[in-house]
Amino acid sequence: MNNLFETTTKNRKIILITFIALALLSAVLMLGVTINYNLVDYLPQDTRSTEGLRIMEEEFNEDLSNARIMLRNVSLQETLTFKQEIETIPGIVSVEWLDDLFGRNILLNTPLEFLDPAITENYYKEDTALLSLTIERGMESSAVNLLREELDPEDALAGQAVNTAESQDMAVSEVLNALMILLPIILLILFLTTSSWIEPLLYLLTIGIAVLINMGTNIFFGEISYVTQTVSPVLQLAVSLDYAIFLMHSFNDHRKQHEPQEAMVLALKNVFPTVAASAGTTVVGFSALIFMRFGIGSDLGINLVKGVLLSFLSVMLFLPALTLIGYRFIDKTKHKNVIPDFSKIGKGIVRVRVLFLITAIIIVIPSSLARMEIPFLYGTGEVAESGQIGEDVEEINREFGTTNPVVLLVPKDQPGKEMEFVEELLSIPHVDSAVSYVSSVGSEIPREFAPREVTDQFYSENYTRIILYLGTPAEGEDTFRIIEEILRIGEENYETAYLIGESASLYDMKNVVEADTRVVNVVAIAGIFLVLLLTFRSLTIPIFLILVIESAIGINLSFAYFTGSALSYIGYLIISTIQLGATVDYAILITRNYLDNRRLLSKREAMAKTLSENIVAILVSAGILSLSGFILAATSTNSMISELGTLLGRGTALSFIMVVFVLPALFILFDRLVAKTTMNNGFHRRKKPE
């Protein structure tokens, strides 16, 4: 290993040029990475809603509608004219209205009161029309902008495609906004905790290059989700910055007695085990996300794992090269250390350790119970309900109610059976109306005599399409029970039934992510336990470290229960692995230094010394990660991203508290057990007087 470190320091110019070239190339490549804003795409292909959507695209040559336009003060003819005009807008795949259900001639020549009001009032009432649109994926931003040009101020435009367009416009700006706020704060923290004005810039440059390379190499995956695009750069920066801090602290210590190149070799040798263990546990924690069947986990997990590994390489290769080339500037920009003296804080924490441990037990037990009762949301979050979008949603809901349409596909059969089937569906509570051939045209009129434009809306070569309007929100216990009942009735009558729509996708998402929970948690805990086992060669130390962080995670998540708010299930899954993988590093640092000190000192003296010497490093790392989360929450307009940021910020702070105040109490209380279960512990023992 020494030869590798010596080679690294001798070839510093080659390493420097290579990393800079890769970063510049990656900056260009990242412009070609496609961002996917539709998280339904990440559902497994074998879920029923995904299969149903594929069948509908093949059989009816249509996708599910994803936008709605409300027109005020318009007649039927004016609405039809408007419909024809917007159908020509690039990106508009289809526009659906009453003429698609009854036929244009019937709609214009039949008094509206003679048509089924259960159907017509979903589309037109009191001179107000509501049209459904399908906007091509990837064209949302341009299509929505052109649509807005066609609308009057009193009209309204809403739907998933509109939210996606808004997200597309804000995706890059939100990352930049978060970083623009975060970077000055990180610099301020680093300026206060280092002794050189240049060092913090070297840290950020080192991790910044790793972030650029990570984002550029996403070109090999073709596309990433907007969650990954928003969260990954901030997390990579915050999680891996302490690797650089550890290396430079060690380098500065060795500079006191050695020449720069030799000092760097010694520093690399000294910090490599700690940084490798920290990166290893973080990688294992993030890798657990890859085992999710819900593809967003794999998308984010792979990106974060890649990012941590690139940061590790950048710290071990690029930072030494950069430092050895510019160490003279570091020397010239030295300043006084303004951090207060923490030499006595360790003794204070050790002195009141029992109080901290009892307090933690009192809090952890109810928090763990509350964690199991948290109400969850399975949606992926919408654009914040403010501004034009929020106003338009409220306007449409006020006029037409909160509509929740789903599309049911069943094998094509006789209209007589279809009539009975539709009546049975309408008997389900909260199924307000059904739009089908038999309800729109009537079972007494043969399909062959109906207008082709009407029959094509309901029949393909193999399937019948029925639109159901539910009087419930997009998700919730009642909604999911209705989904199950619709599918049950469909299978009883036709053996095969597919349900498509937001509620159907959320129902599948619920089933998928609930199964993912067990897998992700087991993989994360087992993987990190194995890394800790190999690192410390102890049976009890991994248990204590994981117990402390898992307790912090439980307290973090229980806030949702005690505040009576629902928690995004996707955010819950992600934070469970991120908080474990990222903050267990603090426990590793404390443990490694404690074991070293314990060889020379008693358990209380060793822990007091460990805390006094390392609390600043942990405080800096935790402060940066916690602030990153809170800034992400403050700058994101997407509710799921914002919630994830809050969980990360609060969770990191809780992990810091548990590691600094509770872990020491466990080590001191179970000192003999740790000694007996740790190989070659070499713990100091006071000699008994003869």
- Give the pLDDT confidence of 608-633 residue by residue, as tens digits: 999 998 888 888 889 888 998 899 88
Higher pLDDT, 449 or 262: 262
pLDDT attached to residue 387: 59
Percent of the chain with pLDDT over 90: 37
Q: Of 109-113, 399-403, 659-663, which range is least confident?
A: 399-403
- Looking at the predicted structure, is the pLDDT value of residue 336 above 90? no
- Looking at the predicted structure, is the pLDDT value of residue 312 above 50? yes
Q: Of 27-31, 174-178, 547-551, 672-676, which range is least confident?
A: 174-178
Q: Of 16-25, 136-145, 286-295, 634-643, which range is least confident?
A: 634-643
- The model carries a pTM of 0.81
* Positions of E strands within 46-166: 67-72, 92-96, 124-125, 128-135, 156-158
pLDDT attached to residue 383: 44
DSSP code per residue over 289-355: GGG-SSHHHHHHHHHHHHHHHHHHHIIIIIHHHHHHHHHHHHHHTB----SPP-TTHHHHHHHTHHH
- For the segment 392-415, the average pLDDT, to the nearest whole number, is 83
Q: Of 379-388, 572-581, 650-659, which range is least confident?
A: 379-388
Task: Work out the angle between the directed axes of helices 639-657 and 603-635 (0-180°, nearest 10).
Answer: 170
pLDDT digits (tens, 9 = 90+) for 155-208: 999 887 887 787 776 666 777 777 788 888 888 888 888 888 888 899 999 999
CB 512 within 8 A of CB 506: no
pLDDT attached to residue 686: 60
Percent of the chain with pLDDT over 70: 96
CA atoms of 259 and 327, how far apart (whole Å): 11
pLDDT attached to residue 284: 87
pLDDT attached to residue 591: 93
CB 535 within 8 A of CB 604: no
pLDDT digits (tens, 9 = 90+) for 588-614: 889 988 999 999 999 999 999 999 988
pLDDT digits (tens, 9 = 90+) for 465-523: 998 988 888 888 899 999 999 999 999 988 889 999 888 988 998 888 888 888 888 88
- Looking at the predicted structure, is the pLDDT value of residue 226 above 90? no
- Looking at the predicted structure, is the pLDDT value of residue 1 above 70? no
pLDDT attached to residue 687: 54
Instruction: Quote the mean pLDDT of the chain.
Output: 87
List the domains of the chain with CATH numbers.
Answer: 1-32+194-333 (1.20.1640.10), 48-164 (3.30.70), 341-373+537-684 (1.20.1640.10), 387-506 (3.30.70)
- Any idea which residue has 């109080």 for tokens? 355
- Looking at the predicted structure, is the pLDDT value of residue 382 above 70? no
pLDDT attached to residue 3: 77
Q: Is the dihedral of CA 562, 566, 569, 573 positive or negative?
A: negative
pLDDT digits (tens, 9 = 90+) for 542-584: 999 999 999 999 999 999 899 888 888 877 877 888 888 888 8
- For the segment 662-678, the average pLDDT, to the nearest whole number, is 93
CA atoms of 597 and 593, how far apart (whole Å): 6
